[in-house]
Amino acid sequence: GENVEQHPSTLSVQEGDSAVIKCTYSDSASNYFPWYKQELGKGPQLIIDIRSNVGEKKDQRIAVTLNKTAKHFSLHITETQPEDSAVYFCAASKTSYDKVIFGPGTSLSVIP
Amino acid sequence: DGGITQSPKYLFRKEGQNVTLSCEQNLNHDAMYWYRQDPGQGLRLIYYSQIVNDFQKGDIAEGYSVSREKKESFPLTVTSAQKNPTAFYLCASSIEGREETQYFGPGTRLLVL
């Protein structure tokens, strides 16, 4: 079955710097890759997603890139702010009827 | 105000006791899910339901049970057979045909006394 790995497990950056979180997946049939942000004690919130027919997607300070050949995708956060501190999860899915497989998460700390 | 609600926020279980976690959504979503989250780990699927009166086991269904009598409700019962129930439980829902895009509730933290 599908397996999603995520690195690093923890990441600390200075406010204003960029943060990059990388994920790899095993099933080449996966074609949907969402990213979730989870603040302490709360449920995950979808922040951005990408489908396999595009290589990059941006939403203000957040961007996601996808390399289908290498089976990896990354989340880029620019000009980080303290409120970006949270756990970020990547995930992969094949079709709307397949399970969504989540990575183990990355704890991001933005130091003021 | 549309969304997914979970109650209670915290729940305590005694030995041998069954407890039920509530999940309600007013998004008119067809599919609903239950995940378990342990510290430092990703989300693991317990049960899911794509239509009313039907549900399927996920990866870690043992010790849990669900029902889906109404479209907007998907309660999860943690039975006494679940020997390690302490975790953060998350409910999610999604639109038919877009099940891969899931929206999560605020979660319930279950603790054992």
Q: Give chain A positions within 8 Å (CB) of B98.
A: 96
Q: How confident is the model at residue B2 (pLDDT cuts 50, 70, 90)?
A: low
The span from the CA of A111 to the CA of A57, in Å, is 26
Nearest to B42 by CA among A45, A89, A21: A89
A7-34 per-position pLDDT tens digit:
999 999 999 999 999 999 999 999 999 9
Condensed to tens digits (0 to 9), the pLDDT of residues B3-61 reads: 999 999 999 988 889 999 999 999 999 999 999 999 878 899 999 999 999 999 999 99
- From chain B, the residues in CB contact with A44 under 8 A are 43, 90, 104
Read off the tokens for B16.
């041998």
Give the pLDDT confidence of A42-83 residue by residue, as tens digits: 999 999 999 888 899 999 999 999 999 999 999 999 999 999
